[in-house]
Amino acid sequence: MNPLAKFFKDALTHWKTSSAGLAAGLLIVANSYQQGMTWKQWAIAGALAFLGLSAPDSSKVAKPVAKAVVTTTVLPLLLVLLLLPGLASAQAAPAEPIFSTSAQAVAVRIGGSTSPGTDVIGSFNLTPSLLLQSDNILAPAINFQGYYGGVKYFAPFLAKPLAKTTLSNIAPYIHVMVGIARNVPALGAVAQHYSFSGDVGFDYKVNSKLSFGPRVGYLNAPGFGGGPHGALISASLTVVLGSK
């Protein structure tokens, strides 16, 4: 008999095992259909289907029955259960960049004066909600240089009230940072002191490179005017300079 004809004849005869093998292959195909099948997934699906079609049916094997059941029916289905989670994760959407650099315009008020400045930011994503962030703020008109490190937290409890509204794309956050504030006059000695700041804001991401939202915070920076108390205000129009 022609080998191909014999193969399909055996597949029809051993219909129980054939169904198990085909079901194994079809489950993988169905699992990956919407995400797109890679050649490896097609190979696994085909191998499981071939195993089911070509193996002898357990009902036709006299001895040992237990071994036949394991090798011809249980094994293909077990492989499916083991492989499906890996195949699903392999097709998952790519994660957000874990490191990025960006810049935004800010207004710095300290020592009774307000001046425009620039905040150059480097951030590292610990989780989707928690970032380590470096803020490097320069306001040359008032001789201010601030170098800070802190934590930015996109709080779920703040976002929850917005979840069912048209503002669901807005991500509220809390940001605290500590560092060094430097008073760098054109003439005279440079003075520097420990400084800290805390601010809250809303982040609306237009795309992967551009976001905006209000940012209002308290700034404590000794060495400027009569007192250390000030403010940091921004529309947080942020341009991402690079990410990885």
- Place 147 in a pLDDT band, splitting at 50, 70 and 90: very high
* pTM (global) more than 0.75: no
Of 76-80, 123-127, 132-136, 237-241, where does mean pLDDT reach its minimum? 76-80
- The CATH fold of domain 99-243: Porin (2.40.160)
Identity of the amino acid at 30? A
Pick the residue with more confidence: 23 or 87?
23
CA distance 220 to 216: 13
- Give the Å distances, CA to CA, from 90 to 32, 189, 224, 235, 244: 10, 58, 54, 39, 19
H/E element, 171? strand 170-183
Percent of the chain with pLDDT over 90: 32
Cβ neighbours of residue 63 closer than 8 Å, sequence gap 6 or more? none
Domain limits of the chain? 3-90, 99-243
Question: How confident is the model over 196-211, as a mean pLDDT?
Answer: 86
pLDDT for 135 beyond 90? yes
* Structure confidence at residue 108 (pLDDT): 95
